[in-house]
């Protein structure tokens, strides 16, 4: 155990979060997502739901403020097929976590399921959970941490 480090953050996950550079994308996926055939870097969080995983990851992961400043979002949710505006319970929980941990100024955008799959192929890694609720998949883009430890805004 480590002080102030969420125990959901396994050594493997911490290594990959630290190894990621600015602008690289992390996929946070539900149990239904075809992670192993989509990307070579898979980090499993068995027994962990999306809300818990997002809370742990965002406790150490800065979101990319450059994307935010250009009107985009460094946090994206997978849209429900044929219902892009619909927010599932998983989406609502994820949005709540982003705002609680990263701040109210962050908006969660959306991306179609097919576009999501294409982004997942190019992502730095995929973090899989055992959350079985459908459309519980998200993209997080890493931002910059300044020498003083603050996040670039």
Among 30, 64, 91, 124, the one annotated catalytic: 64
Among 6, 12, 16, 117, the one annotated catalytic: 117
**Alpha-carbon span 139 to 108, nearest angstrom:** 10
Among 12, 16, 22, 40, the one annotated catalytic: 22
Closest CA to 12 of 52, 36, 46, 38: 46
**Alpha-carbon span 126 to 120, nearest angstrom:** 7
> For the chain, give me the number of helices (H) and strands (E)?
5, 6
Asked about 64 being catalytic, the answer comes back as yes
Asked about 22 being catalytic, the answer comes back as yes
Which are the catalytic amino acids? Answer: 22, 64, 117
């Amino acid at each position: 155990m480590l002080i102030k480090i969420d125990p959901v953050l396994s050594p493997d996950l911490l290594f990959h979060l630290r190894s990621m550079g600015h602008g690289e994308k992390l996929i946070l996926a539900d149990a239904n997502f075809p992670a192993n055939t989509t990307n070579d870097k898979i980090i499993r969080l068995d027994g962990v739901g999306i809300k818990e995983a997002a809370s742990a990851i965002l406790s150490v992961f800065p979101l990319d403020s450059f994307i935010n400043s250009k009107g985009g979002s460094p946090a994206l949710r997978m849209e429900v097929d044929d219902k892009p505006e619909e927010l599932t319970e998983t989406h609502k929980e994820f949005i709540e976590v982003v705002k609680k941990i990263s701040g109210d100024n962050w908006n969660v955008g959306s991306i179609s399921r097919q576009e999501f799959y294409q982004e997942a192929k190019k992502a730095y890694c995929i973090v899989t959970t055992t959350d079985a609720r459908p459309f519980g998949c998200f993209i997080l883009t890493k931002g910059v941490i300044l020498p003083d430890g603050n996040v670039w805004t």
